[in-house]
Structure 1
Amino acid sequence: MYKTIYTALGLALVSQAVSQQRTIEITHFAVGDGSGNSVQINESMRQLVREKYRSTVNRIFQDPENENRFTAEMIIPVTVAGFVIREIALFDRNGNMIIVGQTPEVYKPTLSEGVTQDSVYRIPFVVSNPEILQLNFDPNVVIATHQWIINTLTPATMFPGGTTGQVLKKKSNADGDTGWDDAGSADVFVNTIEEEQSLVADQLIVDLSQTTTHGAAVYINGDRITQKTGADGWQATSATRITLGKAYTGAKILIVQNEPLGTAPFPLAQNKNLADVPNKPLARQNLGVMSADEAKYNDCPPGTIVGLASPNIPPGYRLLKCNGAAYSRAVYADLFAAIGTYFGAGDGVTTFNVPEARGEYPRYADDGRGIDVGRVVGSKQGDAMRNITGTFEGNTDDGEAGKKGAFYNTGQGFLGANGASWGGVIGFDASRVVPTANEVRVRSIAVLACIRY
């Protein structure tokens, strides 16, 4: 069963847009191949399993019979190299994945395979409040033809530098990581990597996730096929891609890269601050560290209040002092999306306020419990104490013993039960027993209140 769903992040952004009367601008469409296998989508996804192509949304149009139903459209030019499409997604202008879906396994052919038309992909989706969508498109965006690029652009004009006899080389498997070097020089490290993928109908091109050598052995359902031209062979068409001589529908392909030195790991080849690591996500996984984007959503979310045992925020931490100051809604978009104008609307247009927590005690929101009724997040509350009343038993000046006078001072004595005044003044001074101040408070320790942005 194939479907599209809102991500948890997408639902949160839609909910915020509705509640805060803001808009969501969907700008980009992406497709991927699921790293060679079928994809099981879920709400926690923030990126495709393996993205193969991304572009601006060509258009979003509304269903004429249902104002809440929209369809986003993307065009993949025929000049883009072929790959299998198993997953699709929509992103907003901040790069947040709003909608993700799975598709039938379809091979996207290329110009060299006899196809002459661009590929068009569409995602239908439903929005309960159409007013939150902001649809902006640039009519001046055009796609240069494959022939124009070949006739007009050369490596020398696009990548200046180098000397006579040098050629443009890939430094790593990352897109755009190239440089000029001598034609005969090469940095080669050999290690065994086995990668298995599922082949679909008409698939000839297979992309590898990682390569460490120019040599590889290819097996189809356990049978090895040789590197040669013709229907029964395969060819290496780039450092990370092989092309089969024929399609093997439904088969499993296993690509085994050589390992003449055993399983001993090799060190980094160059001192480039890890820029020469071809598979950075896998490297972070092996090291047990997160990327900046992963850390953004895995330490604590924007809007979290923390206390520091220091007067200043250490460098490098995404924290702001809770001093009631106004900040830009655009620069601190994640924090604004989390707290909105709960603690102040700033100038009402471009800024918002963080909480003012200096000298204050925090109190958790009642949230329907019924103890601190009527309070909402961000509301302030003054100091107070419970009322103290009582009675005093003694003789009043009317001569009657045992009358009870109300226990409060009139400024001139106390009142008797029958209204007659009772002579004498009773003094009360709490400072003789407990510490006193100009406020009601508990014991405390001062820390610096900060908020995560």
Structure 2
Amino acid sequence: MVDQTSQFYAILTKVGAAKQANADALGIPWKITQMAVGDANPGGLDNPPLPMPDASWTSLLGEWRRAPLNQLKVDERDSAVIVAEQVIPAEIGGRWIREVGLYDADGDLVAVANCAPTYKPLLSQGSGRTQVVRMNLVVSSSSNVVLKIDPSVVLATREWVAEELARQDFKHSVLAATTAAITLSGLQTVDGVALAAGARVLVKNQAAAKDNGLYLVVAGGAWTRCPDADTSAKVTPGLLVLVERGTANGDSCWQLITDATITLGVTALAFEMAFGRSGVAAGTYRSVKVDTYGRVVAATNPTTLTGYGITDAYTKTQVEAMIAEASAMPVGFMAALPVNKIPPGWLEVDGSAKSIAAYPDLAAFLGGAFNNGTEPAGYFRLPESRGEFLRGWDHGRGIDAGRELGSWQKGSVHSFDIGPAVGSVADRSGATTATDARSGLGYDAGERADYTLAQTVSVAGSNVTGITDTSEIAWGATRPRNVAVMLCIKAWNAPINQGNIDIAALAVLAGQATEANLGTARIATQVQVNTGTDDATIVTPKKMRNGFSVLLEATGYIALPSWLGGWILQWVNGGSMSSIASGGSSAKTLTWPLAWPAGPLVPWVTCTGATSNEVGMVATTSGMTASSIVASVYNSTASAKSVQSVIAFCIGR
């Protein structure tokens, strides 16, 4: 149906109406393929009349171009309207457009329309444009119209391009992206970027995720969504947008990861960074954390297995502990060495005191078992093995009962039989001497003198005729043949020197420090500081200052510490004295700031007149105690004088 009040309209021709009816009744597809334009001026008139479409037309009045359709679709607002469109390039034209016609696949004119006269210039005429000609055709039903065009002849209009670009996933870049929820109105600063009106912003952190998206900044009002992301059709899963500036998000790309069907303003929108800054500084790292896009988002340089997250391997501490436990020679093990060479990590068992800091493992093992009370603080003592045999601990067996581990035991008394003397002694004077069966036993005179020789001999006259009975002879401890060795004890818990610890150097440093040698120095006691004779300890600042005090006032003192003699210097400003008559005197008691511990030694006083030092005014001391002094002032002048101040000073201890 045509609105008769309209000046410009489109109608189906009789052929077109018949084909439409046939398509509706029989379901035969109806293909509209081409559009023709004409000037409705077959006679070449200067101002031809506007053509009025007629259903009986089989061709246009003045057709000058026919070409395939650029677009054929059903109107989005009305399904009974078919929209046909053709694009005329800039290089075609030089004619007027007053009439439009549609042709189907059979070459029949099926619809005609008139339009406002429009001149289509040629580019060669100095003014060219791409002309879009569109016809909206009302049909009884669009369901049987084949909406298909040849893509090889399609030319895009700007509006179509803009619309289609708006539907693409890659959007125009934004100036900044939010880092937290914001109020979507007015001018503000986002991610360190001051926004001006019209700036594009990616909003991605709103509490209500449905409000996320691309926005235009509006000064003094609510922000609006960007034209390329203001409808549901334009906001699609996978949407990408570049961020130009920003402290955290500058030079990054963000992707919409919401995969469901999107209804703008209803569906929650979630964005993730596809690429850009991760916050990790440039450098070489041993361990990194990678996100779902393969970006390094965290990086470290661990130095332990735990730092690498390795749980099925032993740590350095565990390995050292196992080696120490598995070693055939744990700390405290003693070994005999045939030469005077001490291996690294070992010490000679010589009863000396050693530093706990230098040998912590051995100190923990021995504790204070061999200390004798003379060890300096921070030291422990080794057992003594020089010149001694070693004996297994009885440990309840009962053979050597009462013994403690590490205890010393002197040699025991041994008893053994000696047979009769060989030969006989001619007389007691020793003219003839028998061979003593005790010879070669290895005892010395001191050991033999400790014991009693018990034997019975027969004496006939002056001659010894022989030993008639032999009893046991007690001698000192027996010493077998032996080889001297140096006994050493393992002092370090590592099987070898660990490289960064020089045990030999530690041993030197553990010794007492002197002016010539590095070592460990002890802290002096306060008594040693006060005595001032010790030259092997260090004095701390606190002990050096102990006893020193000062009061720097008009009445004050300086008290030196005892190690500087304990001297005290005190002074008292007694203030003024009343007028003293000529030839008279006046006395005033002044109190010392500190009571003298041992009494003052050298006191003196002085005075000043009211305006200047007065000649004839003499101050002397007339009394002195541990806490005060009496100052006397004598006036030898011919007139009365006043005293501005009288001052006492004293040195003592």
TM-score by length of 2: 0.21
Q: Which has the larger radius of gyration?
A: 2
